[in-house]
Structure formats: C-alpha cells, structure tokens
Amino acid sequence: MPNYPYEFRRQMVEQVRAGRPPGELAQLRRENKILCEEKKILRVRERGEAEWENGRGSFV
C-alpha cells in the first residue's frame, strides 16, 4: 500500500470490515494471503528469468 497516513488506512480497514460476518472476513484474509504469495512467486520467477537473460543464471 502506498504511504497513506495511518488514520486514512485505519478508516479504510474499518469500512472493509463494517457489516461483514467473521467468516467472510476470514475468507478475505485467506484470499489476500494467497494473492501475496502469488505476487511473491511471480517476482522471484521474473527475477530468475531476468538473470538468465543477462547471463547470470545457473543450473543449481
């Protein structure tokens, strides 16, 4: 998340949580965790492909 002020971020979180049952919030957290993992995998993959293109890749 960009560098939004703390209070603004807190208000955004409260709006997302407002009126949602705990099960739905848990589902949203799981989905967000999965998205974060997918982004991390893509970053590593892109970095690896860039290293191969630049001649720094290895077979190890």
Domain ranges of the chain: 6-53
Looking at residue 50, its pLDDT comes to 73
pLDDT at 56 over 70: no
* Close Cβ partners of 28 (under 8 Å, ≥ 6 residues apart): 16, 20
Looking at residue 52, its pLDDT comes to 65
Count CB atoms within 10 A of the CB of residue 34. Answer: 10
- Report the distance separating Cα 55 and Cα 12, nearest Å: 45
pLDDT at 60 over 60: no
pLDDT at 33 over 60: yes
Q: How confident is the model at residue 30 (pLDDT cuts 50, 70, 90)?
A: very high
Looking at residue 27, its pLDDT comes to 92
Q: Tell me which amino acid residue 22 is.
A: P
